[in-house]
Amino acid sequence: MKKYVLIFLVAMLILPQLSNAQTAVAPWKSYRTELIFGFGTNNFMGDLGGGSKDGGHYFASARDIDFAKTRPTAYLGIRYKLEMLPTLVLPVMMLTPVIGRDK
């Protein structure tokens, strides 16, 4: 029985030292570098709109969008934390295919 109590007490002394909760170092310092990514869509709508009809005069509307020309977009980057809030972001890659039509 004394053996199990000794193992339990040693574990209670060692385990908090292995976690970040009991240390004085700020948690954000342990993961300063982060990989960031994103996905979305891209559509160019110039001054005349993108659809086959006349563009709307005041607000962008669904008839101004040429849905066949909408393309996917991917983003990849690296973020480095200088302090808790200020960060530096290095965009590594932004994939956006460009398609145009002059008619």
Position with higher pLDDT, 85 vs 56? 85
Assigned domain for 60 exists? yes
Residue 60: what pLDDT? 59
pLDDT band at 31 (very low <50, low <70, confident <90, very high): confident
What does pLDDT average to over the chain?
76
Domain residue limits at 98: 25-103
Within a domain: 11 = no
Provide the number of structural domains found in the chain.
1
Q: Provide mean pLDDT across the span 6-26.
A: 72
Is residue 79 within 8 A of residue 37, CB to CB? The reply is no
Predicted TM-score of the model (pTM): 0.50
Q: Is residue 46 part of a domain?
A: yes
Kindly list the distances between the CA atom of residue 26 and the CA atoms of 70, 86, 96, in Å, as whole numbers in the listed order: 44, 15, 38
- Spacing of C-alpha 9 from chain mean position: 43
